Structure 1
Amino acid sequence: MGFFTGRVTFLRFAVGGPAPGMFDDEHLDRLREHVAGRQTVAAADGIEGGWSAGKSVLDLEFDLAKNIVNDALHFDLRVDTDRLPGDLLKAYYEADLAALARDNPSGFASAKQKREAKESARDRLEAEAKDGRFKRRKCTPVLWDRHANEVLFGATSTAQADRLSELFERTFGYPLELLTAGRQAERTAGALGLTGVADAPSGFVPGAGDEVAWVPGGGTPDFLGNEYLLWLWFLTDRDSDTLTVGDGSEVTLMPARTLSLECPRGVTGTGTIASDGPTRLPEARRAVQAGKLPRKMGLTVVRHDQQYELTLHAETLGLGSCKMPDLPEDVTAARAKLEERAGQVRELVETLDLLYARFLTVRLSPDWPDELDRVRRWLAPADQRAA
């Protein structure tokens, strides 16, 4: 059931159209029109994509009770790929080649016979594949939240983002836009009236430069995600582990479990640290003092007495393997549990937005040079820090 059991992983997409008044049979009918394995969208690579109903890779039965929960429509993107087994292809090739070369006076196969054997072996294997015996089916959960008019896609890799967007637009008529750190910053700045600009990375250490190798120039400023993680690290180490966010609530956070850093110049490589408190380790401090930026950080986040343990990806703001709070003890009915879990996911997204907005109110304000100076002093070696 994707977002309703176990840990939660997702990328976020904005829907390029009006939010539905409500989800109903019309939306389910559209999913049925593009169900996996029937009327699919096949890419040039032969990989096919379609929707499935969420219980398993073979579940193609959509219904209101199962697929609409608490103003959210949930279903799966199923991707079907034919994986012809290389060992069997080789066996067929060897058998066909031996048959073709059996009467050769030299005892060796000719180049033409090798080509023929290769073609016949592949044709034989592809004929066998038509019954689906070599097909691999992989499902990724999708949750369309009507309140935010956003789609959560249960992955942190963008590998299937284009396939999702294409199929979603064919199905519902609306495009999807991946909400990366830069795009989310633009949306938040517009909503909050922030007028500052982020046209280049800040450069937290001397010689860091004004480019980030993994963020192409001229696009959205996704390097803000890297700066955001570093800023959270700075606050929890230097100031406080509790922040007051835009709605007046408090968010307590602690870096935990994992930290991945990379040189923005593409010179000194990458490093990943696994520890209960990775940002407290000397090697983590040395890496960031050398100019590396966080690309992924584990966090424990608490708001409204709800605790989340997650991994945050910098440039996409993708969420990895988030451990959700336990359901209240008085929620026992199966349907009530689904409704409660949908509310928890919605509140998690709200908490992440408030945290990022808190960073942007500093980053996109006239106060940023002073804050940047504080971060630089924090990063400086002990014998170089200003009093």
Structure 2
Amino acid sequence: MGFFTGRVTFLRFAVGGPAPRFFDDEHLDRLREHAAGRQALAAADGIETGWAAGKSVLDTEFDLAKNVINDTLHFDLRVDTDRLPGDLLKAYYETDLTALAKENPSGFASARQKREAKEGARNRLEAEAKDGRFKRRKCTPVLWDRAANEVLFGATSATHADRLSDLFERTFGLPLEPLTAGRQAERAASALGLTGAAEMPSEFVPGNEGEVAWVPGGGAADFLGNEYLLWLWFLTDRETDTVTAADGSDITLMPARTLTLECPRGVTGSETIASDGPTRLPEARRAVQAGKLPRKMGLTMVRHGLQYELTLHAETLAVGSCKMPDLPEDVTEARAKLDERATQVRELVETLDLLYAHFLTVRLSPGWAEELERVRGWLAHAESRAA
């Protein structure tokens, strides 16, 4: 039950079109029509995708009581891939080659016999694969939140994001849009009435003139995610560990556990630092002073008395391995626990949005130039404070 047990990981997608009034049997019927294992043909790359119902990779029994929880529709994307074992392919090849070459006077196989043995071994293995013995099945949880009309996809990598979007649109007739740092900034700016622009990355260190190697030009301003993590680092180190969000709530945060930095010009490489307080280590400070930007940062956040421990990915704003708050002691029934967990996931997303919006009110305002100078001053003197 992906989002309802253990740690939570996700990428976010906006669902095109109006939100459903409610989830019902019609949605489950559409999932059944595209259930895993029912495709007659695999995709051109030999990979099959379909929906699973959540209990296991073989579970395709969709049910309202199981798959609809607290105004969310919960299911899995299953990806089936045939992985032909290389060691068995080699064994079949050697066996066939020995049989073909045993009558050769030279004792060696000819080029033609090698080709025949190779082709025969692969044909034999592919014939055996038809019964599914070499099939690798992997499920990734999906949560469609009707209230926000967003889909949370239980991964931090976009490896299967295109497969998710394609199958979701074929199933429900609705497109999915990745909510990356740049796209979320556009939505937040519109909602908050912010008029500032972020056409080019900020120059935090002399020599890094508006270049971020991993963000292609002409697309969403996803470099804002890198600036966001660096600004949170500056804020907690120089200013305060608590910010007051737009709704009046306080968010206390602390960088923790892990920090990955990379050179935006693609010159000096990347480094990952693991520590209880990675941003306070001298090597982290030297890396950011040299112009590297955060790609991932571990964060501990507290809002409304609820603590979340997670890794935040910069450009995608993906959440990695978030430790959720304990459930209230008075929530004891199984269904009530699921409902409460869905509420906690929503509150996590809301907290992340409020924190990012707090950054954007600074970044997309006329006061950013002054704030940028303060960040530059902090970087220039960070080493001396660390000592």
TM-score by length of 1: 0.98
Q: Distance in 2 between matches of 1:39 and 1:103?
A: 46
Give the secondary structure class of the aligned counterpart of 2:309.
strand
Q: Which residue of 2 aligns with 1:316?
A: 316
The alpha carbon displacement at 1:381 in A equals: 3.2
Q: Distance in 2 between matches of 1:324 and 1:204?
A: 34
Give the secondary structure class of the aligned counterpart of 1:50.
strand
Q: Could you report, residue by residue, the CA deviation over 1:190-217 in whole angstroms, capped at 9, with x for unpaired residues?
A: 1111110000000111111111000001
One-letter amino acid of the structure 2 residue matched with residue 257 of structure 1? R
Q: Which residue of 1 aligns with 2:286?
A: 286
Work out whether residues 296 and 313 of structure 2, in 8 Å CA contact, stay in contact via their aligned partners in 1.
yes
- When the two chains are superposed, the root-mean-square deviation of aligned CA atoms in Å is 1.2
Q: Which residue of 1 aligns with 2:216?
A: 216
The alpha carbon displacement at 1:383 in A equals: 9.4
Q: Could you report, residue by residue, the CA deviation over 1:211-230 in whole angstroms, capped at 9, with x for unpaired residues?
A: 10000011110000000000
What is the number of equivalent residue pairs in this alignment? 385
Q: Could you report, residue by residue, the CA deviation over 1:125-148 in whole angstroms, capped at 9, with x for unpaired residues?
A: 011111111111000000000000
Work out whether residues 198 and 221 of structure 1, in 8 Å CA contact, stay in contact via their aligned partners in 2.
yes
Q: Distance in 2 between matches of 1:352 and 1:190?
A: 17
Q: Distance in 1 between matches of 2:231 and 2:92?
A: 58
Counterparts of 1:24-39 in structure 2 under 5 Å? 24-39=24-39
Q: Which residue of 2 aligns with 1:45?
A: 45
Counterparts of 1:7-26 in structure 2 under 5 Å? 7-26=7-26
The alpha carbon displacement at 1:315 in A equals: 0.2
Q: Which residue of 1 aligns with 2:230?
A: 230
Q: Could you report, residue by residue, the CA deviation over 1:148-185 in whole angstroms, capped at 9, with x for unpaired residues?
A: 00000000000000000000000000110110000100
List runs of 5+ in structure 1 lacking aligned partners: none
Counterparts of 1:191-202 in structure 2 under 5 Å? 191-202=191-202
One-letter amino acid of the structure 2 residue matched with residue 202 of structure 1? S
The 3 A distance-change label for structure 1 pair 254 and 39 is: same
Q: Percent identity?
A: 84
Q: Which residue of 1 aligns with 2:76?
A: 76
One-letter amino acid of the structure 1 residue matched with residue 352 of structure 2? L
Work out whether residues 41 and 167 of structure 1, in 8 Å CA contact, stay in contact via their aligned partners in 2.
no
Work out whether residues 40 and 48 of structure 1, in 8 Å CA contact, stay in contact via their aligned partners in 2.
no
| Larger deviation, residues 40-49 vs 120-129 | 40-49
The alpha carbon displacement at 1:39 in A equals: 2.6
List runs of 5+ in structure 2 lacking aligned partners: none
1:239 aligns with 2:233: no
Work out whether residues 34 and 40 of structure 1, in 8 Å CA contact, stay in contact via their aligned partners in 2.
no
Work out whether residues 33 and 39 of structure 1, in 8 Å CA contact, stay in contact via their aligned partners in 2.
no
One-letter amino acid of the structure 1 residue matched with residue 345 of structure 2? V
The alpha carbon displacement at 1:42 in A equals: 3.0
One-letter amino acid of the structure 2 residue matched with residue 56 of structure 1? S
Q: Could you report, residue by residue, the CA deviation over 1:81-126 in whole angstroms, capped at 9, with x for unpaired residues?
A: 1110100000000111111111112111111111111011000001
The 3 A distance-change label for structure 1 pair 267 and 40 is: farther
Q: Which residue of 2 aligns with 1:359?
A: 359
The 3 A distance-change label for structure 1 pair 313 and 382 is: closer
Q: Distance in 1 between matches of 2:211 and 2:42?
A: 38
Q: Distance in 2 between matches of 1:172 and 1:159?
A: 21
Q: Which residue of 1 aligns with 2:139?
A: 139
Q: Distance in 2 between matches of 1:110 and 1:185?
A: 64
1:86 aligns with 2:100: no
One-letter amino acid of the structure 1 residue matched with residue 152 of structure 2? L
Work out whether residues 40 and 50 of structure 1, in 8 Å CA contact, stay in contact via their aligned partners in 2.
no
Q: Which residue of 2 aligns with 1:264?
A: 264
Work out whether residues 310 and 319 of structure 1, in 8 Å CA contact, stay in contact via their aligned partners in 2.
yes
The alpha carbon displacement at 1:40 in A equals: 6.7
Q: Distance in 1 between matches of 2:298 and 2:335?
A: 31
Q: Could you report, residue by residue, the CA deviation over 1:34-91 in whole angstroms, capped at 9, with x for unpaired residues?
A: 0000137732110110000001101110000000000000000000011101000000
Give the secondary structure class of the aligned counterpart of 2:78.
strand
One-letter amino acid of the structure 2 residue matched with residue 118 of structure 1? K
Q: Distance in 2 between matches of 1:40 and 1:247?
A: 51
One-letter amino acid of the structure 1 residue matched with residue 16 of structure 2? G
Give the secondary structure class of the aligned counterpart of 1:381.
helix
Q: Which residue of 1 aligns with 2:333?
A: 333
Work out whether residues 263 and 270 of structure 2, in 8 Å CA contact, stay in contact via their aligned partners in 1.
yes
Work out whether residues 39 and 48 of structure 2, in 8 Å CA contact, stay in contact via their aligned partners in 1.
no
One-letter amino acid of the structure 2 residue matched with residue 357 of structure 1? A
The alpha carbon displacement at 1:382 in A equals: 6.2
Counterparts of 1:113-132 in structure 2 under 5 Å? 113-132=113-132
Q: Distance in 1 between matches of 2:15 and 2:274?
A: 36
Q: Distance in 1 between matches of 2:146 and 2:364?
A: 29
The 3 A distance-change label for structure 1 pair 249 and 262 is: same
